Amino acid sequence: MSEKSSDELIQLVHRQLEILGEDPHRDGLKRTPQRVATSLEFLTQGYRKDPKTVLNDALFETTSDEMVIVKDIDFYSLCEHHMLPFFGKCHIAYLPTDKIIGLSKLPRLVDVYARRLQVQERMTHEIAMTIQDLIRPQGVGVVIEAQHLCMMMRGVQKQNSYAITSAMLGRFREDARTRVEFLDLIRHRRNGS
């Protein structure tokens, strides 16, 4: 974010506090506009990152066609409807054709899309399509489980609800056994339950 944009955001937050009936000059709020601007810059840094660039330096040739899964990838995002957080876990699987992705790059890819104003459904699809476009695997599966503060703090105020979305491409969509294997494997927890 440019310095000019940051300054504009600081002024907007200052004005927002005034509109809410607060005194932005009182001790507890003096630096709030700067802190909010810095926070929003961090929480939306995904706009300034190219997802394909994040993955490009970690593509490797392979002869394996066995399923690769990285699960329980923690993420935090902001819903585009209320700008309130939603957070949870992302599970990613793919069946390589001739390339694999360095394992640490998949959580980085999740962060690129999570660090934008989002809806969970689109984020799930974007992650799957990026992997599909980049390495052309036999199939990709992405499942996201998330809690949304816009449902917990306001609106329906349901504290224990969460949303599950999935994107299944290639063999994950076409072959029920592949899809079931993925879903069974992400249900398994490391502690054996």
Instruction: State which H helix or E strand residue 178 sits in.
Output: helix 176-187
Query: pLDDT value at position 132?
Result: 96
Residue positions annotated with a catalytic role: 79-82, 120, 148, 150
Query: pLDDT value at position 159?
Result: 74
DSSP 190: T
Q: Which residue has the tokens 């190219």?
A: 50
Alpha helical stretches, state H, 70-138: 105-114, 120-135
- Concatenate the DSSP letters of all residues of 14-38 into one string: HHHHHHTT--TTSGGGTTHHHHHHH
Looking at the chain, which residues constitute the CATH 1.10.286.10 domain(s)? 3-43
Asked whether 143 and 91 are in contact (CB, 8 A), the reply is yes
Looking at the chain, which residues constitute the CATH 3.30.1130.10 domain(s)? 51-187
Query: pLDDT value at position 192?
Result: 52
Domain 51-187 fold is: GTP Cyclohydrolase I, domain 2 (3.30.1130)
Please state, in angstroms and rounded to a whole number, the distance separating the CA atoms of residues 22 and 9. Answer: 17
54-57: long-range contacts (C-beta < 8 A, 24 or more apart)?
Answer: 54/105, 54/108, 54/109, 54/112, 55/101, 55/105, 55/108, 55/109, 55/130, 55/131, 55/134, 56/134
Query: pLDDT value at position 1?
Result: 74
Pick the CATH number of 3-43 from 3.30.450.20, 1.10.286.10, 1.10.10.10, 3.30.9.30: 1.10.286.10
3-state secondary structure of 177: helix
Please state, in angstroms and rounded to a whole number, the distance separating the CA atoms of residues 138 and 39. Answer: 39
3-state secondary structure of 170: strand
Low pLDDT (below 70) residues in the chain? 189-193
3-state secondary structure of 13: helix
Predicted TM-score of the model (pTM): 0.91
